[in-house]
Chains A and B, each alone.
Chain A
Amino acid sequence: MTAFVPIRRSSVVAVGLVAAACGSPGPVSSSPAAPSPVTVSAAASLTAAFQSLGSAVGQVNPPLLAEYNFAGSPTLVAQIQQGAPVDVFASADQPNMQKLVDGGLVIGSPRAFATNRLQIVVAAGNPKGITGLADLVRPGLVVVLCGPAVPCGRYATQALQKAGVRVVPASQETDVKAVVSKVALGEADAGIVYVTDVKAGGATVQGIAIPDHQNVVATYPIAVVKAASHGRAAQAFVDFVLSAQGQRILASFGFGGP
């Protein structure tokens, strides 16, 4: 009996892969009520907000079904450049989006849909008593940052420069979530991440504010990918993100308006 289960499952996956590979709308649109799945590649920092957005787009008319691919923005750009079947790309910074614009891989000009700011993430209760960026140079303190290719890494470097602080990180993580988890697990004492990631990190971590004159405002652009196999649904998703309702959802996760 049980031996059949994996076989069944793999055949379903195979059919799904073939359908995805062909970009065939056939099996999807066979039922008129079935929402078209939009594949959204979004920066890791958007994870919680976009997942919440995803349940909301199911209620709009006509309903949308969003499938997400979350990772560091450069990874997502590389995937799209290699022809990954993606409909919408939401980046955590302009330079990564610009790579797709330069490559002629997106439709029209990208729209800014959210902003984010940096915070220092520490363990809940702030056991090391960190009050600002200047504290991060303290000897013995384990600081992790995002890698230099990842937007949060570049922003962190800018913020540290503005504060006149030189920090040698213990690790250059590949995305912002990895920084938060290293702090949450207690392996690192502090990291520099987005306000929204501290919020999404839950009760195990807390944020230490970085004053405006040292902070960096990250602008998030979104665009429909030229190779999109669900172009109309992709545009509808982008419109929803920019709508008042979409902006309310983003704000509830700590994002600022564009």
Chain B
Amino acid sequence: MPRGRQPVPLPIGMLAGAGAAFFVLPLIGLILRAPWANLWPDLTAPESLLALRLSLVASLSATALALLLGLPLAWIYARVVFPGRNLLRALTTLPMVLPPVVGGVALLMAFGRRGLLGQVLDTAFGIRLPFTTAGAVLAETFVAMPFLVLTVEAGLRSMDRRYEDAARTLGAGRWTVLRRVTLPLVAPSLFAGAVLCWARALGEFGATITFAGNFPGRTQTLPLAVYLALETRPEAAILLSLVLLAASLVVLVALRDRWLGSA
């Protein structure tokens, strides 16, 4: 197929340009306004390092939790037909469109000290999730896991199931098929889903501040630190935002090139 330059109709070109500028301009603004001279001192300030470390720990834990719970969920969605499957899928992907603050309130109703399950956890085991790092991980998982589930489900649906059948006819047990055939075949979407999930968890703000609160080193992740620094140290806020931006951009560009089909 010839892929020569297609003439772009002027109105489409102009609107597309405006659309692109809409996203690029804020980035340029951040980069131009960033006090680069303070880069090192601001990023290595104790509160920045604390937030950076917590963000890494929380977002990686959230991704691990999402893999543990989301992978089986994606498999069920892709392979098992049961009544209410579409409704359940819609419910479990709701956090993608829900305002994260609403998600945070909903989490309080479920896992808060007076929440449906939280009450039991507190009275029976003395476990309280709000205001803890575990709570921050939970909030991030809630918002980010749908990205993993949807990506892996799509991968499972698009794979050629005849490989699984062939393995089974050759005498492989269900676990062997899953481990040696299914998972390697969906590995690209598994990886893409995990990375998308991680990036979303890294940027999570609303559900975290609502459910887990804000305390340095415990629940104050990078996005929360950015929000608070904006009030006291705006320059540091810009630099911290750039760290988040750079991480997300690397993820998206890498995914686009390797797994989501390059243009």
Contact = CB atoms under 8 A, between A and B. Distances in A.
A174 B114 contact: no
Interface in A61-114: 72, 74-75, 77-78, 81
Interface stretch (B85-93, B226-234, B250-258): B226-234
Contacts of B212: 171
A187 B112 contact: yes
23 contacts: A72-B231, A75-B231, A78-B234, A81-B234, A142-B113, A142-B131, A144-B213, A147-B228, A149-B232, A171-B131, A171-B213, A171-B215, A172-B214, A172-B215, A172-B216, A172-B220, A174-B227, A182-B213, A186-B112, A186-B114, A187-B108, A187-B112, A187-B114
Contacts of A197: none
A35 interface: no
A187 B113 contact: yes
Interface in B106-145: 108, 112-114, 128, 130-131
A216 to B, nearest CB: 20
A171 B220 CA distance: 9
A173 B108 contact: no
Contacts, number: 57
A169 B112 contact: no
Given A75-B230, A172-B220, 15 more contacts: A72-B231, A74-B231, A77-B231, A81-B234, A142-B128, A170-B130, A170-B131, A172-B213, A173-B213, A173-B214, A185-B114, A186-B112, A186-B114, A187-B114, A188-B131
Interface in A112-162: 142, 144, 147, 149-150
- Interface range, A side: 20 to 34
B47 to A, nearest CB: 11
B59 interface: no
A186 B234 CA distance: 33
Nearest to A185: B108
Contacts of A78: 230-231, 234
Contacts of A74: 231-232
A185 B215 contact: no
Nearest to A82: B234
Interface string B212-249: 11111001100000011011101000000000000000
Contacts of A72: 231
A173 B130 CA distance: 13
Contacts of B108: 185, 187
Contacts of B219: 171
A227 B108 CA distance: 41
Contacts of A187: 108, 112-114, 130-131
B62 interface: no
A177 B231 CA distance: 17
A147 B128 CA distance: 22
Contacts of B209: 174
Contact of B214 (A81, A174, A185): A174
Contact of B231 (A149, A169, A186): A149
A188 B112 CA distance: 10
Q: What 7 A-B pairs have minimum CB-CB distances, sorted nearest first?
A: A171-B213, A74-B231, A170-B131, A186-B114, A149-B232, A149-B231, A187-B130
A149 to B, nearest CB: 5
Given A170-B215, A173-B213, A173-B214, A185 B112 contact: yes
